Amino acid sequence: MDVVKHKSKKKSKNTYLMIGTALICVSILSWISLKPESERKIARNEIVITKVQRGTLQAEITGYGVLRSNSQKLITARYPATVDDVVLKPGARVKPDSVILRMSNPEMEQELERSLMALFNEEANLKRLVLDNKRELLTESSKHSELRSAYKKQALRKIAESELVEKGIVSRLTYNTTVLEYEQLQESIDIQENRMSQLKLVHEQAYAIQQGQLEQQKAMHEAVKRRVEGLTVRAGMEGILQRSPVELGQSVIAGQELALVGSEDDLVGLIKVSQSQAERVQIGQAAEVRIRNDSIAAKIQRITPEVQDGMVEVEVSFVEPLSRSARPELSVDAKIFTNTLEDALYIERPVNVRNQSRQTLFKLNTDGEIAIQTNVTFGEDAGRYLQIISGAQIGDAFILSDMTSFKESNTISIIN
């Protein structure tokens, strides 16, 4: 006889139990995911809270840069040379006659010797000309003296014979001959005197020509001498040796940089600000430069038109004496005061919040137990403060800490 088998009721009950358990788990997960956001909590001592204030706010832009000498002297090589001696290194204080480098150029040194020999030769030629002129003038003066002596003697003879010719002692022919010789001697003296005058003029012109040649050779020698002296590189001004990119034994060419000297007291600040903020900077605005532990008042005097790596360079001049720690190429920080906001709402700068932007912050309710996401529009940058355009009122309390992990929550609970 066949036995009829029935399905177990127990098995059906287990199936229903498993399905029910699964539904309960799904419900629990859904409840967790839909858990009210206000129940997300954070400890009060883990966050920074501040209140909105109202008052005068100094809008500013921050930047960084270096101090730079306002007066600088770039020294370059005028001629090819070899560096023989590096006397001073960057950072050394210098005076106008301080020697920085000594260089050599054998060809220029040989040229200096040749020019010196040529100068000595021209000086000797001038001395020789002066001696020859004196000798020639003495010769002509001697002839002139002889003629004068003969003339005087003939004059006496003429006087004597003029008395004797009347008495018939001396013939008329002899007397006339004496008179003729007297007149010829007088004419010879006049010719000799004119000759001597012309000779002096010739001597003066010859001397001037030779003197000109000597002066020309002196000028050539001085030019060569200056070129050789230029191989000894001097600072040329008082200040600090900022740069000297040459080494001992290095060969340099004409035009190559040898050194950069800058003033130590006359300094300006070259400050870099971001391109997005540069449009707020204007010439004449006040600034403050931080030089190590000192803050020095300054003002904007130049804005570079070029943009490099997203930055604009601004030059500031100082309106106060600089501290002793100020040196060229020293890194500094700066604040540029772009505007004064009267009766402005402001708050200490929250984490990851920029000026001229609309951000979401957590604002505490009146009892300070709940923080609610609130949209706030920010305006000018004022260092550690930001201007508030809208979204807050004086006395409102906001969380300044980084709340990125709570950005999906509209509200959070603050626990003590």
Q: pLDDT tens digit string along 304-331?
A: 989 999 999 999 999 988 888 888 888 9
Cβ-contact 118, 213 below 8 angstroms: no
Per the listing, tokens 């177990």 go with: 8
d(Cα 82, Cα 102) in Å, to the nearest integer?
Answer: 9
Checking if the pLDDT of 28 tops 90, the result is: no
d(Cα 72, Cα 75) in Å, to the nearest integer?
Answer: 10
Lowest mean pLDDT of 2-16, 289-303, 358-372, 381-395, name the range: 2-16
d(Cα 199, Cα 383) in Å, to the nearest integer?
Answer: 92
Q: Is the dihedral of CA 112, 115, 117, 120 positive or negative?
A: negative
In this prediction, residue 35 has a pLDDT band, given cuts at 50, 70 and 90, of very low
What does pTM read for this prediction? 0.58
Checking if the pLDDT of 72 tops 60, the result is: yes
What's residue 11's pLDDT? Answer: 47
Q: pLDDT tens digit string along 225-277?
A: 999 999 999 999 998 898 999 999 999 999 999 999 998 888 999 999 998 88
What's residue 21's pLDDT? Answer: 61
What is the pLDDT of the chain when averaged over all its residues? 86
In eight-state DSSP terms, residue 230 is: T
Lowest mean pLDDT of 38-52, 53-67, 344-358, 385-399, name the range: 38-52
What's residue 170's pLDDT? Answer: 77
d(Cα 355, Cα 62) in Å, to the nearest integer?
Answer: 12
Closest of 314, 118, 143, 124 to residue 223, by C-alpha: 118
What's residue 165's pLDDT? Answer: 75
d(Cα 357, Cα 388) in Å, to the nearest integer?
Answer: 10
Lowest mean pLDDT of 82-86, 170-174, 387-391, name the range: 170-174
Q: pLDDT tens digit string along 127-167?
A: 999 998 899 888 888 888 888 888 888 888 888 878 787 77
Single-letter code of the amino acid located at 65: G
Single-letter code of the amino acid located at 242: Q
Distances (CA, A) of 292 to 175, 255, 305: 115, 37, 29
Q: pLDDT tens digit string along 177-208?
A: 888 888 888 888 888 889 888 988 989 999 99
In this prediction, residue 107 has a pLDDT band, given cuts at 50, 70 and 90, of very high
Single-letter code of the amino acid located at 162: S
- The whole-angstrom distance between residue 326's C-alpha and the CA centroid of its chain comes to 16
